[in-house]
Structure 1
Amino acid sequence: MKFYSLFQEKHGQYTRKERCVSIGKLVPLFLCSLVATIILSFFLYFPYPLNPLTRCGFQQMYAPIRLNDNGNECFRFSDYGIANCDLFKGHWVPDDKGSRYTDSSCLTIPESNNCFMQGRKDDDFLKWRWKPDDCDLPRFDAKVFLDMVRGNKMAFIGDSVARNQLESLLCLLAQEEVPKDIYKDPEDRLRIWNFRGHDFTLMTLWSRFLVVGDRKVINGSSEYYNLHLDKIDESWTTNLPTIDYAIIAVEHWFFRPIYLYEGPNIVGCVYCYNSSITNVGVIGAIQMTFRAAFKYVNDCSRCRGIVTVVRTFSPSHFENGSWNTGGSCNRTSPIGEKEIDLGGEGWELRKIQVEETERARTEGDKKGKSFVIMDVTKATLMRPDGHPEEFWGNKWMKGYNDCVHWCLPGPIEVWNEFLMAILEKETGLISS
């Protein structure tokens, strides 16, 4: 959110020449005294002005000092070393502290993500923490997060997994301030919360593909989608000029038959068997869609200063079958890096997302727009234990396991720790 302040000054007028002359003599003395006072005050308040800004120093502007993970009152971001660290390369380590909230302390967890309420008994999957190889990732701090986004609007744009992350963030932020649920459309696809104490608005904007997608049904059973690359989905673009931070995440709806159009012309398809149409696959479809959507953001003249955070592919973990053939995900602990597939379609999809984000960032730099990648794929590939599996209520699809979405609380809390680190860099609290 950009704020504009208007300051008006009213000056008295002297009509007598003598008064003007006497005041004029005092001006140089007054200016010298003012400069000296400012310099002295600066060094009194900031005795080490060239040292990095501390997190507790940031917090002291709004709240009392709190302890860091090591029990120290004040600490610098250099203690964590995240400024020049690749946060997304690392491994999971044991952590007995567990989640910042519980299934009972957070009242906004959807039933389908509340795995404990649905009967899950083990909780070891909560006792792990992401450790980057070359630094430490700070734990999520709701006070710091809300102070950074004070006066701003943030939107999670995408599918139900994007909503999954937003629900996690709501639970984390509620430890500092419980938001007010101020709007929900009839389908719960546009929903808005407000943190009045911080003048912060958080919203979810549902979009399957980011572009317009028409659903077509064949013989009442099978279906496919027509995607129009030249028509961006208004369900999220309508609100875009009012948004400061856009977190974009779409992927899973692309794993179905799709026909891609530019105007009236078909330019590709996914899972189609027509030799006259180029089968671009899921990766090609996502590349074309992201390019069109990011171009829209960069060309949006009213979207000044917007920061677009692109969350990479969140893998599913079906074993011994797929979602509709009895696949399950009943592990109870993370797997190691040697056990994950860095050569599969999911990893290739992630690479395309990174490439398209970098492409958009280069163009956005010329237009005052920021594009940032939030690369969750590797960390998430190692967490087959974090899905609801059978513990999701099965309201809509009896007998099927959910190995796509994530339990709350659960491993995707790290996504919001990544997001907090990204915001710290974007707001200038830390710099490389």
Structure 2
Amino acid sequence: MPFWLQWLNPNPTHSASSSSCLSVFLRFFHGKSSDEFDLEDELSWLDEKDDEVNVVQSRHESLRSCDFSSGKWVYDQSYPLYDSSCPYLTTAVTCQKNGRPDSDYEKWKWKPNGCSIPRFDSLEFLGRMRRKRIMLVGDSIMRNQWESLVCLVQSVVSNGRKTVTYDGPSTAFHALDFETSIEFCWAPLLVELKKGPQNKRILHLDLIEENAKYWRGVDILVFDSAHWWTHSDQWSSWDFLMEGNNIFRNLNPMVAYEKGLITWAKWVDLNLDRRKTRVIFRSMSPRHNRDNGWKCYNQRQPLQFFRHQPHVPEQMVVLKGVLRRMRFPVYLQDVTMMSALRKDGHPSVYARAMDQKEMQHLRDYTSDCSHWCLPGVPDLWNEMLSALL
């Protein structure tokens, strides 16, 4: 039975939206040094006990026979499908350019048990996406996936027939001959984060439209939201939470997460037409940043299995509960377990270019064990996404 994605259908309600903490967003976009990723790297919300997500069976008939989420990583010399010279990659993910000495992390393909995911075919994908808008909505790890998808397709688009445009929090790659756009919209919390009195950050759990207005008219929407909800007090994404006229200084993060997802779900139910729009929610990307980020440093191979009995992370329990109650059919793409095996796939200290002197003192730098080197793990997420679409 397929656990890769789930077609969740039931009753009415629920909505949510987007957010705009631009500081971390801009730092990631401009390829700053790894010690600037502290906000996302300080907390490890997924340890070795949180490796597997037991996702509900898909009701999508064509995928019933394949569980894409359960399998193993197989070394494949024919990978990667592009290299780090892709012009759309930010410095922070070009690990080879930044001095990472090994490259095997680029050559692993995900092999589900009992079936296979088709190799990504750029021309075939663009042909299927002709005259369509694809938008990935979320945080810097979703940006990571957007860069991967753009690099997977851009080499078959002629120079002069591809361009990038910007609109508020949204960035779009256009393949002009196909009339296709692949877009990224910054919304790490989905709901609205605004500045209040004395520059305090107020997260409005029931407001979404300022973010969601960018999602209208899109043919394929892919969402993620998990990491920014789980930051500690020191690195919290907000100072206060607000729902209606009620203001909270402290609220259980999973209660807040559920309220935010409900706002997103209500917006989807009320504003999208299932005949025109596909909606996918990608599960959380695992971090390996225990011990101040050094869990992923110098890792060279995927894990073959988990040492502990895995259990479902709280975020997934909350997410599945909200999706089940929606009228709109949303696919849940499960990448958590497969990615949890890839401690070797993070930038670690290679999130920026370093000179020879700096290379002698690597442990003086913070290790980014949240984002992913490209080419790398998000390419396989996009192969799965292509198979779904």
Q: Does 1:317 align with 2:288?
A: yes
Q: State the partner residue of 1:61.
A: none
Q: Does 1:148 align with 2:128?
A: yes
Tell me, in whole angstroms, the C-alpha distance in 1 between the residues paired with 2:188 and 2:353. 21
Given the alignment, which residue of 394, 411, 421 partners 2:387? 421
Q: State the partner residue of 1:253.
A: 228
Q: State the partner residue of 2:81.
A: 100
Q: Does 1:330 align with 2:298?
A: yes
Alignment of 1:27-426 (within 5 A): 82=63, 84-104=65-85, 106-177=86-157, 180-185=162-167, 189-214=169-194, 225-235=201-211, 237-256=212-231, 257=236, 258=238, 259-266=240-247, 272=250, 279-281=251-253, 283-300=254-271, 305-322=276-293, 328-339=296-307, 342-343=310-311, 347-360=313-326, 363-364=327-328, 370-393=329-352, 399-423=365-389
For the Cα contact (< 8 Å) 2:71–2:111, is it kept in 1?
yes
Paired letter, 1:255: T
Using the TM superposition, give the Cα deviation of residue 352 of structure 1 relative to its aligned residue in structure 2, in angstroms: 2.6
Using the TM superposition, give the Cα deviation of residue 164 of structure 1 relative to its aligned residue in structure 2, in angstroms: 0.6
Using the TM superposition, give the Cα deviation of residue 215 of structure 1 relative to its aligned residue in structure 2, in angstroms: 5.2
Tell me, in whole angstroms, the C-alpha distance in 2 between the residues paired with 1:319 and 1:97. 32
Using the TM superposition, give the Cα deviation of residue 149 of structure 1 relative to its aligned residue in structure 2, in angstroms: 1.1
Instruction: Using the TM superposition, name which of 208-217 and 130-139 deviates more.
Output: 208-217
Using the TM superposition, give the Cα deviation of residue 348 of structure 1 relative to its aligned residue in structure 2, in angstroms: 2.7
Using the TM superposition, give the Cα deviation of residue 227 of structure 1 relative to its aligned residue in structure 2, in angstroms: 1.8
Q: Percent identity?
A: 29
Cα deviation, 1:156-200, whole Å, max 9, x if unaligned, reads: 111111111010001101232256224125x7x321221112111
Tell me, in whole angstroms, the C-alpha distance in 2 between the residues paired with 1:224 and 1:394. 35
Please report the RMSD computed on the Cα atoms of aligned residues, expressed in angstroms. 2.7
- The 1:215–1:88 alpha-carbon spacing in structure 2 relative to 1, beyond 3 Å, is farther
Tell me, in whole angstroms, the C-alpha distance in 1 between the residues paired with 2:308 and 2:289. 13
Could you say which structure has the greater relative contact order, defined with CA pairs below 8 angstroms and 6 or more residues apart?
2
Tell me, in whole angstroms, the C-alpha distance in 1 between the residues paired with 2:209 and 2:309. 33
Q: Match of 1:176, SS?
A: coil
For the Cα contact (< 8 Å) 1:103–1:109, is it kept in 2?
yes
- The 1:90–1:303 alpha-carbon spacing in structure 2 relative to 1, beyond 3 Å, is closer
For the Cα contact (< 8 Å) 1:212–1:232, is it kept in 2?
yes
Paired letter, 2:306: K
Q: Match of 2:216, SS?
A: helix
Tell me, in whole angstroms, the C-alpha distance in 2 between the residues paired with 1:84 and 1:331. 34
Tell me, in whole angstroms, the C-alpha distance in 1 between the residues paired with 2:321 and 2:124. 31
- The 1:233–1:332 alpha-carbon spacing in structure 2 relative to 1, beyond 3 Å, is farther
For the Cα contact (< 8 Å) 2:282–2:333, is it kept in 1?
yes
Paired letter, 1:320: D
Paired letter, 1:262: E
In the alignment of these two chains, the number of paired residues is 311
Cα deviation, 1:243-297, whole Å, max 9, x if unaligned, reads: 011111122211233543221114x66xx4xxxxxx423x332222112102101
Q: State the partner residue of 2:47.
A: none
Tell me, in whole angstroms, the C-alpha distance in 1 between the residues paired with 2:204 and 2:274. 23
Tell me, in whole angstroms, the C-alpha distance in 1 between the residues paired with 2:148 and 2:200. 31
Tell me, in whole angstroms, the C-alpha distance in 2 between the residues paired with 1:375 and 1:127. 21
Tell me, in whole angstroms, the C-alpha distance in 2 between the residues paired with 1:405 and 1:312. 15
Q: Match of 2:319, SS?
A: helix
- The 1:354–1:117 alpha-carbon spacing in structure 2 relative to 1, beyond 3 Å, is same
Paired letter, 1:84: S
**Gapped runs of 5+ residues in structure 1?**
1-80, 273-278, 365-369, 424-432
Using the TM superposition, give the Cα deviation of residue 126 of structure 1 relative to its aligned residue in structure 2, in angstroms: 1.7
Tell me, in whole angstroms, the C-alpha distance in 1 between the residues paired with 2:221 and 2:189. 15
For the Cα contact (< 8 Å) 2:205–2:256, is it kept in 1?
no
TM-score by length of 1: 0.66
Tell me, in whole angstroms, the C-alpha distance in 2 between the residues paired with 1:318 and 1:182. 33
Tell me, in whole angstroms, the C-alpha distance in 2 between the residues paired with 1:301 and 1:137. 29
For the Cα contact (< 8 Å) 1:157–1:247, is it kept in 2?
yes
Q: Match of 2:268, SS?
A: helix
For the Cα contact (< 8 Å) 1:386–1:407, is it kept in 2?
yes
- The 1:229–1:199 alpha-carbon spacing in structure 2 relative to 1, beyond 3 Å, is same
Paired letter, 1:299: L
Using the TM superposition, give the Cα deviation of residue 354 of structure 1 relative to its aligned residue in structure 2, in angstroms: 3.1
